[in-house]
Structure 1
Amino acid sequence: MSFRTTTAIDYVEDVAPGSGALPPRAWYASSDAKSLSLNGTWRFRLSPTAGAEDDSFAEPGYDAGAWAEVAVPGHWVLQGHGSPIYTNHLYPFPVDPPRVPTENPTGDHVRVFDLPDDWPSDGGAVLRFDGVESCARVWLNGTELGEFKGSRLPHEFAVGQLLKPAGNVLAVRVHQWSAGSYLEDQDQWWLPGIFRDVTLLHRPTGSVRDFFVHASYDHVTGEGTLRVDSDVEGRVTVPALDIDVATGESMTVAVEPWSAETPRLYDGRLVTEGESVPLRIGFRTVVLEDGLIKVNGKAILFKGVNRHEWHPEKGRALDLETMREDVLLMKRHNLNAVRTSHYPPHPAFLDLCDEYGLWVIDECDLETHGFVEQSWRDNPVDDERWTPALLDRAARMVERDKNHPSVVFWSLGNEAGTGRGLTAMAEWIHGRDSSRLVHYEGDWNCRDTDVYSRMYAFHDEVEKIGRKLDGGTRKRRELPFIQCEYGHAMGNGPGGLADYQKLFESYDRLQGGFIWEWIDHGIKHPELGYAYGGDFGEELHDGNFVCDGLIFPDRTPSPGLVEYKKVIEPVGIEGDGADGTVRVTNKYDFADLSALAFEWSYQVDGETVEAGALSVPALAPGESADVKLPEPPADARGGSETQWTVRALLASDTAWGPKDHEVAWGQFPVSARPLPAVAATDRPTASEELIYLGPASFDARTGTLKTIGGVDVSALRLDVWRAPTDNDDGAEWQTDTRYGMLWRKYGLHRMQHRLDAVELGDDALTVRTRVAPAAWEVGLSTVYRWTSDGTKLRLTVSVAPEGDWTVPLPRLGIRFALAQADRVKWFGGGPGEAYPDTKSASMLGRWHSTVDELQTPYVRPQENGARADVRWMEIGGLRIEGDPEFWFTARRWTTEQLDAARHRTDLTPGDTVWVNLDHGQHGIGSQSCGPGPLPQYFLRAEPAEFSFVLSEVN
């Protein structure tokens, strides 16, 4: 006979959400009730297992003076105690729900505190934890308060009767693994600790407990209706609206509505017998109507992003200013929506969304993705034993965040399969809050949800969905569609965003989407720069898949964010240079264009020669107007490339951006550039070692360029290789189109160059070669033809594929080395990088940079830094003109060195600068998790001819 005794640590593996905590309620800050932050330095002891130490540390008088110290909020693994673990979806422990390993790092935390001298003696007090990963047991002054799970959710305990004026001992035992870990398998670092605020709140007699602000808007009458339901009776006042009513009573008045574009908030106050609470009220109505998501009577288009909470040193322990920085960056890059992947954020973030204006999909702290490896067998969301925990998580999200006008959707969670527990959550949420819609991507039949949501649907499928040709249930076909994740922003990319946006704007049913994701989760590291999965010795990890954001870990915008800003800009600016008109279209959902000022400028060969203000009507949403541009400047040089640029700028300072902040822009040509011409008048001559042609010398044996004037040039030859991007390498489940791997398979990273002939003609030096990989029959027959007029040198490269090419080329152009170079100037696209399907934000103009500044610092090094549509460039004493336009990159390391690097610190700059002049680049796509490049962005192995004119800079 065997039996198992009940122990003090059984709660760790209990599927119940916890015990002892108060019911969930709205998050708010009191005007007059005292609070005491318990953030700061805590004493800390780490144990290898959940039961390694007894509970004596929680007793008053226990001496923890010899313990280590950690900062709260914080994660102990980011403070020198253990190591973080990154997995995308695999559980880093055996899947045996609800059991967890005996090796369960457990952190004991102790904080001794005194009450302020003015702490009231009447009423009660509440101890609040805003976030603890993953399971916590709490004592105050030796009395156990309870234990809880639900890492990104608040938990409160009544403690008034336990407090004393001085020497209060708060003890918290935190376990890294628990039954709750099975519900928290999000794509992120596993980071145990008390990572959000800990606060002691005084609750006066007669104080506010919980309340629900109902503030709807009637777009027909322009009136808002306010009702505040409160657990404790009181009065509600809104001075700006002359509202003074009892709680539970409704009042209807004329109001300005709240939207993400016009986030009008009214200051109000809820007053009970014992407390006054400030209110920030936004009137808006969210409905599902005519198969569309409508707010205030209008269908909206989400231009959003998924946002994990992240800081490269503090993990998910964010301060208010970091959160504000995120929101301001979003607004300044034209984003209008956030999905809080995959858990409710710190509540202060939602305050910022209310204030600055962002639509929010608030997502529950729920993901069980690892069960996909066993075909969802034993998935907790389809096991009724877990349903109370799921409902607890749903309630803690909804009750905490229900008074935020920015929240328009509740999301049940992410990648948790389907099951009875999710249905129970949806039913509870619909019953509790009918003023918002419910989202869950995994419910493709839309049994429980109000929107058809998908991840990474390819462009062609999205178009079918837009046309309602996607099949599925009748209910689904009648629902709006969003991409809750698309445009996987891992490394260089994402590509294809403009093509998605065109679809979103073409079909009413398509109501936009959310890029995955906001920030690279790199951890600052002294040797590696930023660490990612595997850098901490994890046995199981998913590498740099955790670095897939639109901003770098230090919150610098990536080229992907700049591209997205352009793609989703709220003003369309299209022009016709021939007749001198520009069509301006208002793409806002609610705002007119009165907040914007428009400017025109006229460029000649990329230089602005004249500029001025452009009068544009304050167009209503959806309206367009054709506006006449002024006559081109009279002294504009003939025989030059000319164009108009029109920009939309903030007319004055706003809460999120300064006056003259650029919101949108458009360019359109007037006259095309004349192509560079070099008369082939010079004749090549040869000595025993060198061939001379115009300003250049060549190796007599190989025909390789050596100098142009006084500039040394080496190793010039055809190049087809680029250091594969994360999107080139693709996702492991996309086996047939992972071109980064196929390029390696076919040897494009080790092409061999065979010299067939060096021919001196009357007017040209011709070098014939074959470029091909070992082990395969395919190759590129390549001819270099050099001509000169005595001053300039023209290189024409002709490429003819041989054999059966089954893969596209990474790039096609020439590469050479310069002994020294620093400054770069060019006329072409800029200022940042661009590739065939990431060119929307590339503005034609004259730009300059250093070689080092040309590099894009992706956390995992890869192909980067190309400038597109280049007419000419100057670097290292050379001037290079293209026929046709070209891409260029310039680096202080070779492509091979870039390819071999795993972290930025692996790249050591050399004196030599390697320059690529590319006739073509393969598209980028989003295949690190989504689709690869669209066919029109493929660089196919086809016959090609392109030329460069080279000369020494005067």
Structure 2
Amino acid sequence: MTAPDKPAYLEDFTPSRGVRPPRARFTTDAPSVDLTGTWRFRLHPRAEEATDGFEEHGYDEAAGGGGPAWCDLPVPSHWQMHGHGAPAYTNVVYPFPVEPPYVPDENPTGDYRCGFDLPQEWPEGPAVLRFEGVDSCFRVWLNGTELGFATGSRLASEFDVGPLLRPGRNTLAVRVHQWSAASYLEDQDMWWLSGIFRDVTLIARPEDGVADLAVHAAYDPETGTGTLRVDVDGAAGAVVSVPELGLEEAEAGAEHRVGAVEPWSAEVPRLYELEVRTPGERVRTRVGFRTVELTGGTIRVNGRPLLLRGVNRHEWHPDHGRAVPLETMREDVLLMKRHNVNAVRTSHYPPHPDFLDLCDELGLWVIDECDLETHGFEPLGWEGNPSDDPRWEEAYLDRIRRTVARDRNHPSIIMWSLGNEAGTGRNLASMAAWVRENDPSRLVHYERDWDCPYVDVYSRMYAPHAEVERIGEGTEAPTDDPDADAHRRGLPFILCEYGHAMGTGPGGLEEYQRLFERYDRLQGGFIWEWIDHGVRREEADGTEWFAYGGDFGEPLHDGNFVADGLLLPDRTPGPGLAAYAKTIEPVRVVPDPAGGAVTVTNTWDFRDTSGLEFRWWVTEDCQSGPPALVPGVGTLDVPVLAPGETAEVPLPALPEKQGGGESWLTVSVTLAKDEPWAEAGHELAWGQARIGAASAVAPVPAAVAPADTGGTVLRIGPGEIDTRTGDLLAIGGVRVGPLAVDLWRAPTDNDVARHGVSVERGWRAAGLHRLTSRLVSLDWEGNEFVVRTRVAAAAQGFGMRVAYRWGAAEGRLLLTVEGEAEGQWPGPLPRFGVHMTLPETLDRVTWFGGGPGEAYRDIAQAARVGHYSDTVDGLQTPYLRPQENGNRVDARWLELCGADGGGVRVEGAPVFDFAARRWDTAALDAAAHTHELEPEGKVHLYLDAEHQGIGTASCGPETLPQHRLEAGNHVLRVAFTPVG
């Protein structure tokens, strides 16, 4: 017996057969039928050439050959997201043997059937079936006649079907293969998912209609006028109208000067409605006038240089995979706009075209990336990489042609990206040459070839701050080819990926942004990435959690590296997004209460500050719980500032302090009226400054007559201490767990640093996660009861001498913790602070300090000083892989109370960081998913003097030197008081 024949097209370099030339998407008055909805589906384990006739109009599912059973499946969707097979995640490597163009025999293959009725008024003549996206290779039949096959999962494909349509009922059949030769070109860092995951539409194409159109709308910033040319492929005599500009039935294909226009930019996304009419069709699209150019070594639009404050965006939904609903796309763009993001790189493929419509409408600069990545060849030394193999050239060119043809009429797109992490080679050069010939109105981007012979931008990923500064200065190290080196040095620079937003973090964004602003050549970058790709799961008891690589039994996977976004999978903004929004705020506000002024700078590239309101208020810490005092509020009269302008605005007379707490001036910049992406009152930027000096002074321990309660318990102020161990037992009537120095934190993804310099490996090798303590002494030293210990790990010679100095003053229990490192520590400390436990009922948290959200020393941009309240549960950030999280910075005081108002107050001298959880660090470190964390019947409170910075080494540079916590001498001063 011989094995069933595999379809030849599966392992062919040819990208398609039977498809029409690619074209733009536009709105038409020609009839169409939306074929999305419920289709019939079955899944085969292998790909075979033969069918059982499922493509025939009269096929009987019940008698269909005894194969897999048919069921219902929504289109668009991925079959793995509906229980047919399972998702699998790899970052770099291919999940099949690398022997291009061959794929495994075990090749899940889905058969689809869709019956539809042709409307009675459907016209005779040409029609097309348009598939917006099918992963990874598909073959199509209509009414039993084969139309062809296509690859290019994130690209549109059309088939001619006019003569095959019949009145009444029609049958569309599609066979989709998970693996094909094209899979070697689609090794993007994402879940491997299959199926018809974008729209399917039947569209009438009148013979005297519009076959295709290309809109060229340029803007002259010197004169403020626009020019418009619309090239129409199709019937002769096409005419163009833009009624708002007085252009009526103008000749297509000719250049028209349309006079004064409002240009399109991401900050002011002005669009005009354009109509093209032929004898048989009217089509509509929106046009934005803008000119993209490379001038003086900088990217310019409408004559102005850009500063890209961007994100990379994969398409993702936790329930639907890459079949993202329109309302979710809109939510993404609105969230980006509301967090000051102005650009998006469509990593690593063209998105659904509706997303680009939203970018046009609401305003985002776009790098539109071709559906191309061959990263799995890198571990093989790039041997056999298709990018330099002429057999793959047509497949490469096919992908860039389809990208440009579909998307060229979007004003938001300013660069075409050839792809991502596909090495180097002649096929990429051919793609770039094709783009320059067919669309010279945009720039060409590709990151992986750093010699930049065929691109317009020097683009890098995760370059360290120091290297980025050298590039900005023009002092980066030369390459071997002098001509190539000179060419690269004349190009603008962007970080197409940086700030890897995996887990807690990313740190170092502020330092990158200041470099971008300092050097003209540095034109910004794109955070990796927008959203965690978690798959929503549910336990039997209804508990929801999000799965990552390996959770579906994949034999080869990259774990939680798929969870590296600024949003959690359910689109809850993470702390990193708040920090990024503050870093890239479009108006910079620097209050100076001592000087009586506030400095305001407009950092927008195109928009002035009209339409903004500048509000100020003074808050004073009342030092005894909510609410904080607000002794003064008002608005500032800020002149309208053009892009890049700065003004110093006088402050009004600020109110005098009314109590003993700190006073802070806040200036907030908000929208004065509604915008399409946010309502009036939405905050764009803010600045803060303390009025006067800090009020917190370390209290001096008073002479006390300690109470002895039986020889084993010592009372100092409201505290009780075990005289044998030195352990803190209680604060007032609140029983507490032992308070001890803590140097360990549950490593963050950036500490683990899968693709960077790991500190976690050194920490574990040194035993910092298993420290033990030895009591050295305990006795009175003046007015303080001093407990001395040595903290160290088994098998290590280094350690830390720790002194706990207990005292009392004004009804408070005072604590000074001193740490002195001794020996050769192998690297930075995770943290220096103390850990204690409190009753689980003390779950209501109030503090005055940095907030409201999570922050660490190198990602504290969004933490403003104020009065905040939350719950212990609300303090947590549920990263997909549990890790250190939830820290609040610079607390002046903190109260943890129960429902009855009783609890414990902690005061800093001057400040401290804190975190509170229902589980300890060891449990957090051990858990693989958040739903595995079980409350322990107590609250674990962490009070810290310092934390090691977070950095972005999960994929990028390690923590900056100024944010490292080196082992040395460390001090934490706090005071405890019972509440209620």
1:182 aligned partner, one-letter code: Y
Partner Cα distance (1:453, 1:845) in 2: 40
Matched ranges for 1:354-393 at <5 A:
354-393=360-399
Tell me, yes or no, if the aligned pair for 1:607 and 1:845 is still in contact at 8 Å: no
Following superposition, the deviation at residue 804 of structure 1 comes to: 0.6
In the aligned structure 2, how far is the partner of 1:575 from the partner of 1:560?
25
Please state how far the C-alpha of 1:675 moved relative to its aligned partner. Answer: 2.1
Equivalent of residue 624 in structure 1, options 636, 646, 650: 646
After TM superposition, which residue ranges in structure 1, 4 or more long, deviate above 4 angstroms? 4-8
State the AA in 1 paired with 2:125. G
* Contact map agreement 1:684 1:763 (CA 8 A) in 2: no
Q: Is the 8 A contact 1:681 1:790 kept in 2?
A: no
Distance 2:705 2:460 in 1: 64
**Is the contact made by 1:682 and 1:790 (CA closer than 8 Å) also made in structure 2?**
no
Query: Structure 2 CA distance, aligned partners of 1:944 and 1:215?
Result: 62
Give the aligned partner of residue 403 of structure 2.
397
Q: Which residue does 1:100 correspond to in 2?
A: 103
Structure 2 equivalent of residue 942 of structure 1:
968
> Which range moved further: 465-474 or 168-177?
465-474
Q: Cα offset for 1:615?
A: 1.1
Q: Which moved more, 1:214-223 or 1:691-700?
A: 691-700
* Among candidates 541, 546, 549, match of residue 533 of structure 1: 549
Quote the Cα distance in structure 2 between the aligned partners of 1:949 and 1:445. 59
Q: Give the AA of the match of 2:836.
A: F
1:221 and 2:235 matched: no
Aligned 8 A contact 1:691 1:703 in 2: no
SS at match of 2:154: coil
Residue 80 in structure 1 maps to residue 106 in structure 2: no
SS in 2 for 1:493: coil
Q: Is the 8 A contact 1:550 1:558 kept in 2?
A: yes
Distance (Å, rounded) in 2 between the aligned partners of 1:599 and 1:62: 70
Q: Which residue of 2 aligns with 1:240?
A: 244
The offset of 1:911, in angstroms, is 2.4
The residue that corresponds to 1:292 in the other structure is 298
Are 2:173 and 1:171 equivalent residues in the alignment?
A: yes
What are the equivalent positions in structure 2 for 1:309-388 lying under 5 Å apart?
309-388=315-394
The one-letter amino acid paired with 2:726 is: G
Report the equivalent of 1:256.
262
Deviation larger for 65-74 or 128-137 = 65-74
Pick one of 582, 591, 604 that aligns with 2:598. Answer: 582
What is the number of equivalent residue pairs in this alignment? 945
> What residue identity is the alignment partner of 2:591?
G
1:908 aligns with 2:934: yes
Q: Which whole-Å CA distance do the structure 2 matches of 1:207 and 1:680 have between them?
A: 92
1:23 matched residue in structure 2: 21
The gaps in structure 1 that reach 5 residues or longer are none
Name 1:878's counterpart in structure 2.
904
Is residue 205 of structure 1 aligned with residue 201 of structure 2? no
Point out the more displaced range, 15-24 or 107-116. 107-116
Q: 2:70 corresponds to which letter in structure 1? A: W
Contact 1:640–1:672 (CA<8 Å) still a contact in 2?
no
Match of 1:705 among 701, 724, 728: 728
**Which residue of 2 is the match for residue 514 of structure 1?**
526
Q: Is the 8 A contact 2:123 2:204 kept in 1?
A: no
Cα distance in structure 2, aligned partners of 1:761 and 1:18: 85
Would the alpha carbon gap of residues 380 and 683 (structure 1) be closer, same or farther in structure 2, given more than 3 Å must change? same
> Is the contact made by 1:684 and 1:765 (CA closer than 8 Å) also made in structure 2?
no
1:67 maps onto 2:93 in alignment = no
Deviates more, 1:95-104 or 1:197-206: 197-206
How far off its partner does 1:715 sit? 1.7
CA drift of 1:609 comes to 2.1
Match among 549, 552, 556 for residue 565 of structure 2: 549
Please name the residue that 1:680 is paired with: 702
CA distance in 2, matches of 1:768, 1:683: 21
Q: Provide the rounded CA distance (Å) in 1 between the counterparts of 2:456 and 2:767.
A: 49
Does residue 56 in structure 1 map to residue 53 in structure 2?
yes
1:216 deviates by: 0.2
> Is the 1:781–1:802 Cα contact (8 Å) retained in structure 2?
yes
Contact 1:683 1:761 survives alignment (8 Å): no
- Give the match for residue 65 of structure 2: none
Structure 2-normalised TM-score?
0.95
The CA deviation at 1:381 is: 1.0
Residue identity in the other structure for 2:685: A
Q: Distance in 1 between matches of 2:473 and 2:393?
A: 37
Provide the alpha-carbon RMSD of the alignment: 1.4
Instruction: Confirm or deny that 1:752 pairs with 2:772.
Output: yes
- Deviation track 1:312-332 (CA, whole Å, cap 9, x = no partner) reads 010000111110000000000
**Partner residue of 1:792?**
812
Deviating more after overlay: 58-67 vs 716-725: 58-67
Pair 1:832-2:848 in alignment: no
- Written as runs of structure 1 = structure 2, the 5 A alignment for 1:41-190 is 41-51=38-48, 54-64=51-61, 67-118=70-121, 120-190=122-192
Q: Map of 1:329-728 to 2, 5 A cutoff?
A: 329-470=335-476, 471-472=478-479, 473-527=485-539, 529-605=545-621, 607-634=629-656, 636-637=657-658, 639-676=660-697, 677-686=699-708, 687-728=710-751
Deviation track 1:313-357 (CA, whole Å, cap 9, x = no partner) reads 100001111100000000000000000000000001000000000
Q: Spell out, residue by residue over 1:907-931, the C-alpha distance to the aligned partner (whole angstroms, 9 max, x if none).
A: 1123200000000000000000001
Q: What is the CA-CA distance between 1:113 and the residue it aligns to?
A: 1.0
Return the offset for 1:166: 2.2
Q: C-alpha separation between the residues in 2 aligned to 1:282 and 1:569?
A: 25
Question: Is contact 1:35–1:202 with CA below 8 Å preserved after alignment?
Answer: yes
Deviation at 1:247, TM superposition (A): 0.3
Match of 2:624 in 1: none
Give, as a single letter, the amino acid of the residue that structure 1 aligns with 2:703: T
Q: Deviations over 1:184-221 (max 9, x none)?
A: 00000000100000110111231111110000000000
Per-residue CA shift, 1:652-677, capped at 9, x if unaligned?
00000000000000001221222242
The one-letter amino acid of 2:241's match is T
Alpha-carbon separation, structure 1, partners of 2:751 and 2:318: 26
SS at match of 1:768: strand
Alpha carbons 1:136, 1:175 under 8 Å: kept: yes
| Secondary structure of 1:16 counterpart | coil
Q: CA deviation at 1:115?
A: 1.2
TM-score (norm 1): 0.98
CA distance in 1 between partners of 2:433 and 2:387 (Å): 14
Contact 2:670 2:683 in 1 (8 A): yes
Q: In structure 2, what is the Cα distance between the partners aligned to 1:639 and 1:897? A: 41
**Deviation of the 1:761 alpha carbon:** 4.6
2:482 maps to: none
Q: Which amino acid aligns with 1:531?
A: A
Q: In the aligned structure 1, how far is the partner of 2:916 from the partner of 2:187?
A: 41
CA gap of 1:607–1:738, structure 2 versus 1, over 3 A, is farther
Match of 2:625 in 1: none
Query: Structure 2 CA distance, aligned partners of 1:945 and 1:727?
Result: 26
CA distance in 2, matches of 1:79, 1:317: 12
Identity of matched residues, %: 57
Residues in 1 aligned to 2:746 and 2:5: alpha-carbon distance in whole angstroms: 55
Alpha-carbon distance, 1:644 to partner: 1.0
